[in-house]
Structure 1
Amino acid sequence: MFHKHKILIILFITLLGGLVIRAQEVRVANDSSAPARQDTVSVPKDTVKLTPDSLQIKTDTLMAKDTVRKKKNSLDAVVTYQAKDSILMTAGNWAYLFGEGNVKYRQIELQSEVIEMNMDSSLVFAKFGLDSIGEEFGYPLFKDGEQQYESKTMRYNFGTKKGYITDVITQQGEGFVTAGRTKKMANNDMFMMGGKYTTCDDHDHPHFYLQLSKAKVRPKKNIVTGPAYLVIEDVPLPLAIPFGFFPFSESYSSGIIMPTFGDEMDRGFFLRDGGYYFALSDYVDLALTGEIYTKGSWGLSARSAYRKRYKYSGNFNASLLTTILGDKVVPKEYSKSKDFKITWTHSQDAKANPYRSFSASVNFATSSYDRNQLTNIYNQNSTSNTKGSSVSLSQRFPNSPFSLSATMNVNQRSRDASISVTLPDVSVTMSRIYPFKRKHAVGSEKWFEKISMSYSGYLRNSIDTKESKLMKSSLVKDWRNGMQHNIPVSATFTFLKYINISPSFNYTERWYTSKVMQAWNETSNRLMPSDTIYGFNRVYNYNASLSASTTMYGFYKPLPFLGNKVEMIRHRFEPSISLSAAPDFGDPRYGFYESYTYMDEDGEMYTNTYSPYANQIFGPAPQGKQGSLSFSINNNVEMKIRSDEDSTGFKKISLIDKLSLAMSYNMAADSFKWSDMSVGLRLKFSKSYTLNLNAMFDTYTYDEKGRKVNVPRWEAGKGFGRLRSTGTNFSYTLNNDTFSKLFGGGKTDETNKDGSQQGTGEEGELADGMNPETDAQPAEGGRLREKKKELGEFDADGYQANKVPWSLAFSYGMNLGYGDFNPNTLEYKYKLTHNLSFNGNIQPTKNWRFNFNATYDFDTKKIAYMNCSVTRDLHCWQMSGSFIPIGPYKSYTFTIAVSSSLLKDLKYNQSSSYREGQQWY
């Protein structure tokens, strides 16, 4: 009975010839008893359900008694397949999928334009399709978990998980691997013949690649190749390797850092930046590199980066360099120097600790390091005269007004190899408190409750010396140290509702461990140190002041015939006056000053005073009795005008943001009671540009030798004051949008997040008619092989925008002050000093970029320094060059290298040294 049914089924299928099912999904079950999932598309009632073994029909009772053994199915999960165009089933248990076919089995997925499936053997074959003009499309895309491969043809067995692939493309790390013939194993390893490895994404014709005779690819692990040679622009080069190993890893791993080869005129051929990389943990790494030159120079470097999320992050670099120039045979030309450099940056996450913070910014190097280090002579580090380093720690105490901070500061001046170190610099501060304020106040506030006080204390230890003498200095004799305490007490009261009265008292005390006694030296005819006395020394001073201030407003309404554009002009006037008093701490009863007697050139005897604490870190107490009357005036002028955009609205314009004047009169002084007059002006031209001008005016006259005379200028008929010094500095940047903003004009295109500009048309379509929702994304399965289409940038009208981005920034500083004295006019001549620095960049095309920065020396009237750089994006290559065209560091460097960091050693480098341009006499 069983055999009769089987014969009838075969005849039925043969007569029918084939069953075509369009636009539907069919599921293949591994078990004949598994129910078929209901189709999302309605099908005729006579639709046949398929299994891998046979077509299933209703069986009779004799089938259960059949002793014939069924064939065991090798698949243990459901295989689903679908096609956009059609699915064709044949009598030989073959299924043909046309039009974006898709087959899924567990985590394995195969997409292709044409797919052939065998229902009995679990075999599947995929290939591309041809359009009406013979162009290939719809290449097979195979996915197995996170791995995916693209090819032209693929034969795969779902049971054994093995396959045969032609013209495969797969991405491994930053590169791509292609091969003519590939055999895929069950463990996902691939054996390739005629393969290519490249980082260029133009897979059909890469700009460069390594031709691999044969290779084994272990996805996400490594590639092992046989003999390989380099090919650039389809031209084989005589650069070959007997074997290759390309490791891939998604986590940190230790490994060798390949060195860079080059040559330099003074130090010879070199290997540099080679060493070993240590992946110590997930939080910290370490790279040890070195450099060696054929003429004896060498160097070692260690760099490390560390990071702990929500805690801290930082970088640490340390370098040691020994530079040998010349030959020992010629002692005058031979030199040997040892240099080192340490850089360290550390930042703490704000969420790590709300009360404690630690930060570091260290940039310490010997004065000749930047001149000898090859990588630094092409930037401004080689011409920088100063370097600064600081490490700070701060601690706030909860529910307490006290806070503590400690800092280490190091400043270097490479011009004379001097160094200033402050270690430690500790400060303790107490925020303002109201000691007499009641905790449970009843009634109005008492006058004494307004009294407030605060405290600040400083402990400092510093030294100014040469780099070579720093480690040999004595902490007691050479370092300056001391401690200062400052306690201000103040209060504010209101008088007659509009006047603020503020009395204050300030006490300052200094602690020193030594004092330097001095005496007049008749041989050198000057005051010189004679003895240093060690011990605890206490120096203090105090002063009191009383100030009064108020604010007045003035309004001006323009006359009607001037128009109604200006609504109102407002003038804010803030006068203040203060009285301060302090005793003379140079009086002998305080003991803070000593007297000495000397004879001048004419034989006359003079007595003068000095302070033994003059060179201490916080200085001495002020000398001279004080009873000063000071006043200051601040002005602000604003104009309220009607807005052009809104007829009912107004906007404010600042005419004079601030105009200030300050001066004082010391009633307790014997002479020179008037101080210089200070004037400040601030003008706001726009939100981004503000002009600040500050000036000091001299109020006294001078004698024939240029010494100040106790005769005010207004008593000598020379006016109220003469400009002593003034200065300002400003910077401005010009770019593409500068002139459009100044002169008005057209619309600006909307800027995308990546900085590009894209015009849009109606209904969300791009300017070239493409719909971003349907056309922007390429069809899945052809991502790697499809040609890249660069749309470019378009304006709002749909035309391609050929913009040339550029910018030019400059910074100018000017200072005017006293210079040489003119005995004829009894006035000092003016001396003008100014400086100018500028930088800019331009991008004439998408791939070209030019940058430069320079400084101009007004004394020599020429450009003191200029550094230029040019870069060119060559798709998968990067070409860059930098040069210093003028100055003592005239030199250049040129590099062309692969953009990928994986093949960073595949490059060509050519450079010159600034020493080659120097002329020796």
Structure 2
Amino acid sequence: MTKGIPSYIFTKIGFKALQANNPYILLMLILLLSPLFLLAQETPVKQPLNIAAQRDSTQVPVSELLPEVQIRDSIIANNILTDSIQQTDSIVRDTVPKKKKGFLDDQIKYKAKDYQKTVRSENKIYLYNEAEVYYQDTELKAGIIVIDYEKKEVYAGRIKDSTGTLTQAPYFKQGSNIVEPDSIRYNFDTQKALIWNSRSEQTVGGEMNVFAEMTKKENDSVYFLYEGKLTTSKNLDDPEYYIRVRKAKFVPKKKVIAGFSNMYIADVPTPIAVPFAYFPMSEKSSESGLIFPTFGEINDRGYFLQNGGYYFAVSDYFDLAVLGDYYTNGSYGFRTETNYAVRYRFRGNFNFRFENLVQGQKGFPDYSRGTTYNIQWSHSQDTKSNPNSRFSASVNLGSSRYYKDSYNQINTGNFMNNTLSSSVSYSKSFPGYPAVNLSVTATHSQNTNTEVINMTLPTLQASVERIYPFAPKSGIKKGFFQNINFQYNLRAENRFQTTDSLFFKKEMFETAKTGFRHSIPVSTNFKIMKYLSVSTSVNYDEVWQLKTIKRNDYDEELGEAPIDTINGFDRFGQYNFSASLGTTLYGTFLFKEGKKIQAIRHVIRPSVSYGYTPGFDQYYDQYIANEEGDVRDYTRFEGGVYGTPGRGNSNNIGISISNTLEAKVVDKDTTATEPKKITLLNNLNFSTSYNIAADSLPWSPLRVTGGIPLFDNKMTVNFGATLDPYAIDNSGRRIEKYNIDNGGSLFRLTNANLTTSYTLSSKSFKGSGIDRKTDNTSSGGRDDDLFGTNQDFSDGRMFPDDEDEDEEEEETKFYGASLPWDLRLAYSMTYSNANRQNEISNNSLMFSGNVELSPKWKVGVSSGYDFKNKGFSFTQLRFERDLESWRMNFSWTPFGTRNSWYFFIGIKSSMLSDLKWEKRRAPDRNL
């Protein structure tokens, strides 16, 4: 048995009932009798032993007899240590020693700012002002803390400051669970607690806050709440809304199971209530569960339930949402949406949407039924996962009328762009010398107006690195001979052209066109007289086809010249030669000292090129085209993927001049040591060509393009014009006569175009303002909001809570006289005069702007004006209201074929996103 040492603690507990009025007499009796008492306790049957008594060299520390606390106050520590007595035990230590267990399993560490007081008569320690207690994984901070080491309990509460206000509310943390109550009573042994007016932050990112008037902590994983509140509000003292639960079972980081619950807004009860409720609060980013549908009414489809379904949190790398719609007129739809990601390897998402659309009533003339679908897939690979191979996908294909007919979204950007496109590619590089690059790509392009689909499935490309056979192994390649190089390129396509109704049907594959193109370019470059750069190249192309045609002579019975399709391998080859000569000329004009403009530099890059392509008449045949006996030429390679062999010699001389105008000006920054460079004229280009082998009209039109940067390169005005030197006849055809000889000017302006765009905001002038970000490109829209903002009603990310702490802090400031704003402008003008029509065929201005009227109010407009047709283009008005935990949004298209409006109000938190109300009028699909 372990030897005992008498102490004041044991004395107090053992003789508490023997307290007398005179404490000194009682103290003397205790000191005289306590050794006998303790000895009798340890050896109840005393027998003589023939073993000599030995002095015990082991002294039991006072920390094993006192509560396991860490004493920081030196005065208290000295008093306690003075009462401890060292004693020699005459009993031999047992062969199986048992260590006496202390009151607690670990040390209690504590401290306080004002004072720490131990009251021995009460077995309590008092801590006041900024008190802190630490025990194992438990942390407690409060204004006042009382430790009862007899009951193994701790009490914590608030204290009053100089104004009488209660401050320093307790902060209780056990493991990863945090509770902030008004007061708490906690037992170190059982780990049970009673908590008054508690507050706990739950779920990933701290979305949900749990309040309760009284909380009973049963163990580490179970709490019982009485009169609780659940809210995602950031205003913890006065939440703008909450869900009141009368009684609830709370499992931190997992769930809350409650009885009757209803919502309060501004402390006013609402009729939104349920007899029982379940709130998942997993530490994971998401959990499987039901997705509550949206209900409403659409005139031509009746009442509906939309976007209801189930969310499957399959794993940390993959999830799946299955959603569905139902309308009382018989229409329905379903969608599957999934996201996947593997860190440092790849990530992506896949969406499939299908809708069965019923219009009108069966038996009536306006009745119609049809189906639409849409497939979206996005995949990106981390560049570091495999540097030699890469797989990527960007797919958006489906019914051409999906974005027009779908009631689940209003995608104006896609509706006005009229194009869907997709690309899935895999590339592989084989390092070494020479390196080989290989890629396989499937592409898709779809016009939603004509419903024509062009697809390549697949496209194979292979290339061998450029090889210099005569270059030295080290050093710079010099001269014509050392710069000779060649490479090999292969491109193969399996191309389809079809329509919506035949997509991926038998007829689509019957019209497939397959072709292979081998290209071997051989080139070199060198300098003449140091300033003239010369480059020459010879290119050989070999084209393979698996289908050719044969045109037969005119058949009187058929009334046409029939065409036979011949399946089988066939090929043709062609080659060409090209050379170019160019240089760069610099001209600088210097201004006098003290001028704002110090110098202007003009850079001219003239170039002359020559190209020769012989005719390949051997690949052409003749046939009788009609009953009149007209003989026409054709080639059996017509309709191939890579065109037909060239016919007739092409002997062209090309001339081009590129101009750049720059200036050096004095920098406004007085600390700058160098002048500032600005661009006055950006790439003013002139280009034309002359065909030596042409029988007539050898000169091609002169093409002029350029750009003028403005406002410190924030805006560029791009322009272009086509100037024809030849005149035209009354039918608009070019004739062998110069325009100047026909009574006109040197050149005839046939067309011209001008485009520009500019973005302005309050940041442009004051360095602050709103930075509005839009993403309409996922479904084929624009990367701005000139066509308005798209609305996908099935996407829960439609109104994300994108405010961060910095924005919240900035919103508390006064705006003063300025309002954050942004404005985008896009102007386009086209002039046409190819046939003396002398008209502006297009002249339109598009604009989009947003203004923050207050820290919580945003209004915006997207519109445009067509100066030719004198009318407004697509117009959208919108406003947003930030309601702290809620968000309100309204968008309205007041006129046009896309006339519609949409209103939404709901909780921003994804956890309670089903608490919302929305109403909308969709565009008229009959138009």
Give the TM-score taking structure 1 as reference length. Answer: 0.83
8 Å CA contact 1:376–1:382 kept in 2: the answer is no
Residue among 433, 438, 445 paired with 1:411:
445
Q: 1:597 to 1:169 in 2, by over 3 A?
A: closer
| Partner in structure 2 of residue 177 of structure 1 | 210
CA distance in 2, matches of 1:45, 1:468: 92
| Partner in structure 2 of residue 105 of structure 1 | 135
Say whether 1:344 aligns with 2:377: yes
Pairwise CA distance, 1:538: 2.0
Say whether 1:669 aligns with 2:694: yes
Q: 1:93 to 1:130 in 2, by over 3 A?
A: same
Task: Give the aligned residue type for 1:814.
Answer: M
Q: 1:636 to 1:901 in 2, by over 3 A?
A: closer
Q: 1:61 to 1:404 in 2, by over 3 A?
A: closer
| Partner in structure 1 of residue 645 of structure 2 | 621
| Partner in structure 2 of residue 811 of structure 1 | 826
Residue among 217, 238, 244 paired with 2:250:
217
Pairwise CA distance, 1:315: 0.1
Say whether 1:394 aligns with 2:421: no
Say whether 1:874 aligns with 2:883: yes
Residue among 96, 103, 110 paired with 1:81:
110
Q: Which piece of structure 1 moves more, 359-368 or 534-543?
A: 534-543
Alignment of 1:545-560 (within 5 A): 545-558=578-591
Percentage identity across paired residues of the two chains: 33
Task: Give the aligned residue type for 1:716.
Answer: N
Q: 1:485 to 1:524 in 2, by over 3 A?
A: farther
Pairwise CA distance, 1:366: 0.6
Say whether 1:137 aligns with 2:148: no
8 Å CA contact 2:496–2:508 kept in 1: the answer is no
Task: Give the aligned residue type for 1:626.
Answer: S
**DSSP 3-state at the match of 1:389:** strand
CA distance in 2, matches of 1:690, 1:530: 52
Q: 1:595 to 1:571 in 2, by over 3 A?
A: farther
| Partner in structure 2 of residue 633 of structure 1 | 657
CA distance in 2, matches of 1:296, 1:523: 54
CA distance in 2, matches of 1:656, 1:550: 20
| Partner in structure 1 of residue 80 of structure 2 | 49
| Partner in structure 1 of residue 779 of structure 2 | none
Cα deviations by residue, 1:457-477 (Å, 9 ceiling, x for unpaired): 211122222210233354675
**DSSP 3-state at the match of 1:492:** strand
| Partner in structure 1 of residue 522 of structure 2 | 489
8 Å CA contact 2:727–2:748 kept in 1: the answer is no
| Partner in structure 2 of residue 231 of structure 1 | 264
Pairwise CA distance, 1:483: 1.6
| Partner in structure 2 of residue 848 of structure 1 | 857
Task: Give the aligned residue type for 1:233.
Answer: A
CA distance in 1, matches of 2:296, 2:99: 72
Pairwise CA distance, 1:541: 2.2
Residue among 683, 686, 693 paired with 2:719:
693
8 Å CA contact 2:859–2:880 kept in 1: the answer is yes
Alignment of 1:375-394 (within 5 A): 375-377=408-410, 379-394=412-427
**DSSP 3-state at the match of 2:304:** strand
- Equivalenced residues, count: 837
Q: 1:555 to 1:240 in 2, by over 3 A?
A: closer
Residue among 146, 171, 183 paired with 2:176:
146
Q: 1:157 to 1:545 in 2, by over 3 A?
A: closer
Task: Give the aligned residue type for 1:154.
Answer: I
Cα deviations by residue, 1:594-648 (Å, 9 ceiling, x for unpaired): 3657799xxxx97653444343221112222222222222223333344453696
Say whether 1:722 aligns with 2:752: no
| Partner in structure 1 of residue 326 of structure 2 | 292
Q: 1:850 to 1:753 in 2, by over 3 A?
A: closer
Q: 1:224 to 1:552 in 2, by over 3 A?
A: closer
**DSSP 3-state at the match of 2:695:** coil
Residue among 578, 583, 591 paired with 2:619:
591
CA distance in 2, matches of 1:258, 1:384: 33
| Partner in structure 2 of residue 580 of structure 1 | 611
Q: 1:467 to 1:78 in 2, by over 3 A?
A: same
Alignment of 1:735-750 (within 5 A): 735-739=761-765
Task: Give the aligned residue type for 1:687.
Answer: N
Say whether 1:507 aligns with 2:540: yes
CA distance in 1, matches of 2:820, 2:168: 39
CA distance in 2, matches of 1:679, 1:563: 37
Cα deviations by residue, 1:215-244 (Å, 9 ceiling, x for unpaired): 111111211112222222222233332222
**DSSP 3-state at the match of 1:249:** coil
8 Å CA contact 1:2–1:62 kept in 2: the answer is no
| Partner in structure 2 of residue 771 of structure 1 | none
**DSSP 3-state at the match of 2:873:** strand
| Partner in structure 2 of residue 767 of structure 1 | none
Give the TM-score taking structure 2 as reference length. Answer: 0.82
Cα deviations by residue, 1:666-724 (Å, 9 ceiling, x for unpaired): 12111111111122223333333333322221121122222221122244353332122
| Partner in structure 1 of residue 680 of structure 2 | 655
Say whether 1:899 aligns with 2:927: no
Pairwise CA distance, 1:403: 1.1
8 Å CA contact 1:312–1:347 kept in 2: the answer is yes
CA distance in 1, matches of 2:276, 2:893: 42
8 Å CA contact 1:378–1:892 kept in 2: the answer is no
User: Any stretches of 5+ residues in structure 2 without a counterpart?
Assistant: 13-18, 28-60, 93-97, 774-805
| Partner in structure 2 of residue 775 of structure 1 | none
8 Å CA contact 2:470–2:484 kept in 1: the answer is yes
Say whether 1:539 aligns with 2:572: yes
8 Å CA contact 1:275–1:287 kept in 2: the answer is yes
8 Å CA contact 1:506–1:544 kept in 2: the answer is yes
**DSSP 3-state at the match of 1:844:** strand
Cα deviations by residue, 1:233-289 (Å, 9 ceiling, x for unpaired): 222233332222222212354322222222222222222222222222221111112
Q: Which piece of structure 1 moves more, 641-650 or 220-229?
A: 641-650
Q: Which piece of structure 1 moves more, 445-454 or 263-272?
A: 445-454
8 Å CA contact 1:793–1:801 kept in 2: the answer is no
8 Å CA contact 2:829–2:840 kept in 1: the answer is no
| Partner in structure 1 of residue 311 of structure 2 | 277
Say whether 1:165 aligns with 2:219: no
**DSSP 3-state at the match of 2:404:** helix
**DSSP 3-state at the match of 1:615:** coil
Cα deviations by residue, 1:102-151 (Å, 9 ceiling, x for unpaired): 12211112211122222322122112122333322111121111111111
**DSSP 3-state at the match of 2:519:** strand
| Partner in structure 1 of residue 739 of structure 2 | 713
| Partner in structure 1 of residue 219 of structure 2 | 186
CA distance in 1, matches of 2:552, 2:261: 84
Task: Name the Cα RMSD after superposition.
Answer: 3.8
Cα deviations by residue, 1:520-575 (Å, 9 ceiling, x for unpaired): 879999996633333333233222133222223333344x5x96544433333322
CA distance in 1, matches of 2:666, 2:265: 67
Higher percent of residues as helix: 2
CA distance in 1, matches of 2:664, 2:807: 54
CA distance in 1, matches of 2:612, 2:596: 51
Q: 1:668 to 1:232 in 2, by over 3 A?
A: same
CA distance in 1, matches of 2:522, 2:21: 109
User: Any stretches of 5+ residues in structure 1 without a counterpart?
Assistant: 16-27, 741-747, 756-787, 822-826
CA distance in 2, matches of 1:816, 1:459: 40
CA distance in 2, matches of 1:789, 1:707: 64
Residue among 552, 566, 569 paired with 2:600:
569
**DSSP 3-state at the match of 2:646:** coil
| Partner in structure 2 of residue 94 of structure 1 | 124
8 Å CA contact 1:594–1:612 kept in 2: the answer is no
Pairwise CA distance, 1:305: 0.7
CA distance in 2, matches of 1:732, 1:3: 87
